[in-house]
Structure 1
Amino acid sequence: MKKYIKLFLLTVFATTLVACGQPSTSNKTTTSSTLEVGKVELVVKEDTNVLSEKVVYHKGDTILDVLKANYKVKEKDGFITSIDGISQDETKGLYWMFKVNNKLAPKAANQIKVKKNDKIEFYQEVYKK
């Protein structure tokens, strides 16, 4: 009988200890969420097709990083040559261009860091020299 009483008391003690313990406040987060800074609007236009979505970017990301994280991209020296299989056509002078916040980008996509709430718009345009 003493054995059962000891077992019962031990169970009650253990349950009380667990129930009265401090709640766990885990500081564990994934690497991607700790680096997440915000979202930007990424727009890709091809003829009459327009894809527009809010996408996540991380601290230090360039426009090229964000584009590559969301589309299949080919590039040369930071200049986009193909997005999701839609390539530029050098013989026609048709190239991928992009704007940031409605202004033509002054540099290559690998040289411009994204900022919170940027609107990045990729489109094809004939470029004549």
Structure 2
Amino acid sequence: MKNNRRFSLFFTIVAFLTLVLTGCSSNNSSNAKNTTKNQISVNYTLKEGKKTVDTKTVKIPKKKAKVITGLKKAWKVQETKGFVTAIDGKKQNPKKKIYWTYTINGKWASKGVDLQSVANKDKVKFTLDKVK
């Protein structure tokens, strides 16, 4: 009789723990999937002239998928009215006509960094160089 009670108690505890642990693990994987679904990955490259200075891949929320969001997440950025004036301490120099410009997937952007949207796996390239 004691063995039956011990077995029942043991079985009840194991079943309870299995249910609790299974419930916790499925919630965690569900949250991870939702986080992945709600984020995009964007590749950023910084150049000075023709020389590549740095490259980073940044995950940003889909809702805030603007060029500036990932740029600020990866580097210290200064901007004015949608125009980048400095990245990671490297400043443009209007007297010498040296400015930050950028492309997305090899095409010149048509909007400021605060308005320009990005999509998953886009490649954004910022170049500090003399503008003619």
Q: Give the structure-2-normalised TM-score.
A: 0.77
CA distance in 1, matches of 2:34, 2:19: 29
Identity across matched positions, percent: 25
Is the alpha carbon distance of 1:30 and 1:69 closer, same or farther for their aligned partners in structure 2, counting shifts above 3 Å? farther
Matched, 1:121 2:119: no
Q: Distance in 1 between matches of 2:117 and 2:130?
A: 26
Which residue number corresponds to residue 77 of structure 1? 81
The total of aligned residue pairs comes to 125
**Structure 1: segments with no counterpart, 5+ residues:** none
1:30 to 1:100, Cα distance in 2 relative to 1, 3 A:
same
Q: Report the CA distance between 1:10 and its aligned residue.
A: 5.9
- What's the counterpart of residue 12 of structure 1? 10
Q: Please, what TM-score do these two structures have when normalized by structure 1? A: 0.79
Alpha-carbon deviation of 1:53?
A: 2.7
Say which structure is richer in helix.
2
Partner residue of 2:56 out of 53, 57, 61: 53
Q: Give the letter for the 1:87 counterpart.
A: K
1:59-86 Cα shifts (integer Å, max 9, x gaps): 1310011101111000001100000000
Could you tell me which residue of structure 2 aligns to residue 98 of structure 1? 102
Structure whose alpha-carbon radius of gyration is higher? 1
Q: Which residue of 2 aligns with 1:67?
A: 71
Instruction: Supply the RMSD in Å over aligned alpha carbons.
Output: 2.7
CA shift, 1:9, in A, is 5.2
